[in-house]
Amino acid sequence: MPILVIPFPAIDPILVSFGPFAIRWYALAYVAGLLFGWWYVRRLVATDRLWPAGPRMDALGVDDLLVWITFGVVLGGRLGYVAFYNLDYYLSDPLEIVKVWDGGMSFHGGMTGAALAMILFARGRKLNFWSVFDAAAAAVPIGLLLGRLANFVNGELYGRPTDVSWAVVFPRGGDVPRHPSQIYEAGLEGLVLFVVLTLVVWRTPALKRPGLVTGLFGVGYALARIVVEFFREPDPQVGYLAFDVVTMGMVLSAAMGFVGLAMIALAVSGRTAGPSAGPGP
């Protein structure tokens, strides 16, 4: 048995309400992540020494990109969760799909939606979409940090049973001490990955090789998520996919890691350079 069990903090998931309308910590985390990311990307694009010669986003372009990414993250994140984690439930009651405020977002789906939005944005402005990816990838861990903390406040995506001294009893997890896996994810996927990418971006010429920072983010996130999956309780409607170990999060993250390695190889080879690298209009 654990030496110390931490009771779940009595934090109301609703920050403030106005009649039938409520502002939830979960939604606020997404908004704050997007706004902090927007501010950070504006700083990046304003620093000439970081970028290769040629056209790139300016501050006004970042403002427009925020709108594109917001729609991509919300739509992709929700549809990804519906498709990969609870398809039968949502097919039986399609109206539940729009209830984003109740939780249920897939990072991998949100990332895919954001990527498609950035490709469309870059093509419309004749920018190298690899460089657009890099600017966004450098800021994504900020949103991950805040989002995982919001998961903890919601008491969702908790960890597996454990006897460690920092175990937490979650309201939805039964009378069982569990790993606070949301905090692990906030630390690894958020804080640690942000620090690593920040050092790479500001102290090396990584952004001058379009796609390199994106690839590093993909590999870094995949490693962090796979590690945490050993402590996180699988979604009950999915469970383990194989050997009572492999989870959906591991599979999706492994695929993301391989894509990240491919991006790194392309960036190092120079095949992503140039203002119109990638598919033409």
Helices 107-124 and 248-269, packing angle to 10 deg:
30
Give the chain's length.
281
**Residue 276: how many other CB atoms lie within 10 Å:** 15
The per-residue pLDDT for 235 is 78
Residue type, 102: D
| 220 vs 228: CA distance, rounded Å | 13
Instruction: Report domain extents, the chain.
Output: 5-269
Q: Which residues are annotated as a binding site?
A: 148
> Is the CA virtual torsion 223, 67, 78, 103 positive or negative?
positive
| 148 vs 225: CA distance, rounded Å | 12
| 97 vs 28: CA distance, rounded Å | 19
Query: SS in 3 state form for 121-170?
Result: HHHHCCCCHHHHHHHHHHHHHHHHHHHHHHHHHHCCCCECECCCCCEEEC
Q: How far is CA 22 from CA 29, 35, 155, 254, in A?
A: 14, 20, 18, 37
Cα angle value 196/257/202 (rounded, 5°): 25
CB 50 within 8 A of CB 78: no
pLDDT 10s digit of each residue in the chain, 281 long? 455 666 777 777 676 777 667 677 777 887 888 889 999 999 999 999 999 877 788 888 899 998 888 888 888 888 877 777 777 777 777 776 666 656 667 777 888 888 899 999 998 888 999 999 999 999 999 989 998 998 888 888 899 999 898 999 988 888 899 999 999 999 999 999 999 999 999 999 999 999 999 999 999 999 999 999 999 998 777 778 888 888 988 998 999 999 999 999 999 998 887 655 544 43
> Reduced to 3 states, what is the DSSP secondary structure of residue 216?
helix
| 195 vs 215: CA distance, rounded Å | 16
| 265 vs 125: CA distance, rounded Å | 26
